[in-house]
Amino acid sequence: MTYHLLIEAADRMGLVHAISGVLYDFGLNIEQNNEYVDKEHKRFFMRTEFSGSIDQDLVVRTLKDRLPDIKVSLFPKSRKKVVLMVTKEAHCLGDLLIRARYHELDMDIQAVVSNRDCLGDLVESFGISFHHVPHQGLDRTEHEQRVREAVKVYDPEYLVLAKYMRILSPAFVSRFPNRIINIHHSFLPAFIGASPYKQAYDRGVKIIGATAHFVNDELDDGPIITQGVIPVNHTYSAQDMAGAGRDVEKQVLARALKLVFDDRVFIFGKKTIIFE
């Protein structure tokens, strides 16, 4: 079996040797290794992919015993359980459904939850459960409670906001710490909020983009995973920009999910460390 080992620690001499020594002692074969040192904060990051037969808890305990004050995460390589959340735009949803069907991403889509019903036929054509949780007539707390009830049945490892156009409350986000991924239709930190293409058009920008990020308590302010841009010019209306941006959005979201689901992303403060 293949495993992914993620290590974060205060930087010091001998870390790579000590960590690889533990794996050697357990008779494990290192297949890929990446390291990075944030010199400003003197923090060490390491991702190791290895194969073998192990007692996960024993390996983690041994690493912590030999290297006090390190953060250790150890995962078997696996397809992640995911629930998608959408509103009424189909481009990101359709792209992810196809990629999941043909195993381009290491994810199993357990269900799709939406505050609109217009994408139900698309989702169900892939044999995936669709939950329509309307928001009309409900305050945010009531609506989010119903969304949580729909989601908790599946116990997902991640929620993916594939153009889910509602702001989640801190109470909701806190139930999925660093496990909600959003695609935002601008090159953050520029043009946050619901109408970035209109904002971009009003400013006469020459590039537009998309940003995939983890969701935190601040609007469109979570740690950035990936971004992408394309050129535009004065002939583009706000609607033209939105149309052109859809391809960027789905590509950026898919790339971000590939990195996250392959355990290549560390969250460090308000930014990410990514081993590609």
Over the stretch 176-189, which tens digit does the pLDDT of each residue have?
999 999 998 776 66
Looking at residues 156-179, what average pLDDT do you find? 95
pLDDT of residue 88: 95
User: Of 129, 124, 127, 84, nearest to 107 (Cα)?
Assistant: 84
pTM: 0.92
Neighbouring-strand partners of residue 274: 265
Quick check: 220 pLDDT over 80?
no
47 with 103, same domain: the answer is: no
- 11 and 114 in a single domain? The answer is no
Q: 194 to each of 8, 11, 45, 183, 220, how far by Cα in Å?
A: 36, 41, 35, 12, 10
Has residue 26 got a pLDDT over 80? yes
Q: Are residues 177 and 196 in the same domain?
A: yes
Q: What is the pLDDT of residue 193?
A: 66
Q: Residues with Cβ < 8 Å from 109, sequence gap 6 or more?
A: 82, 83, 84, 96, 97, 100, 126, 128
Q: In which domain, by residue range, is 115 found?
A: 80-274
What pLDDT shows up at residue 192? 67
| Domain CATH number, residue 15 | 3.30.70.260
Whether residues 71 and 85 fall in one domain: no
Residue 161 has a pLDDT of: 98
* Last-in-domain residue among 39, 57, 76: 76
Residues 258 and 195 in one domain: yes
Can you tell me whether residue 113 is helix, strand or coil? strand
Percentage of the chain surpassing pLDDT 90? 81
Q: Closest Cα to residue 241, out of 194, 182, 201?
A: 201
Mean pLDDT for 102-126 is: 97
pLDDT at residue 12 above 90? yes
The chain-wide mean pLDDT, for the chain, equals 93
pLDDT per residue as tens digits for the range 97-106: 999 999 999 9
Report the pLDDT averaged over residues 58-64. 97
Is 93 in the same domain as 122? Answer: yes
100 in the same domain as 67:
no
Q: CA–CA distance from 80 to each of 18, 84, 106, 191 (Å)?
A: 30, 12, 6, 31
| Three-class SS state of 124 | helix
Q: In the chain, how many domains are there?
A: 2
Q: Domain containing 267 — which CATH number? A: 3.40.50.170
Listed in sequence order, the DSSP H helices in the chain are 15-25, 56-66, 91-101, 120-124, 140-152, 170-174, 196-203, 238-261
* 19 lies in the same domain as 137: no
The answer to whether residues 197 and 236 belong to one domain is yes
Last residue of a domain, one of 29, 59, 76: 76
- Residue 196 — pLDDT band, cuts 50, 70, 90? confident
User: What's the average model confidence in pLDDT over 216-236?
Assistant: 87
**Among candidate residues 15, 49, 76, the one where a domain is terminated:** 76
- Name the β-bridge partners of 230: 208
pLDDT at residue number 236: 85
The C-alpha atoms of residue 158 and residue 214 are separated, in whole angstroms, by 10
29 within 8 A of 52, measured Cβ to Cβ: yes
- pLDDT level of residue 44 (50, 70, 90 thresholds): very high
Q: Does pLDDT of 116 surpass 80?
A: yes
117/163 same-domain check: yes
CA dist., res. 54 & res. 257, Å (int): 27
pLDDT at 189: 63
At 195 the pLDDT is 73
Catalytic residues, which ones? 220
190 and 225 in a common domain = yes
Q: Kindly tell me if the per-residue pLDDT of 190 is higher than 70.
A: no
Give yes or no: residues 42 and 104 share one domain.
no
Provide the token pair at 96.
Answer: 């992810």
| 28, amino acid identity | L
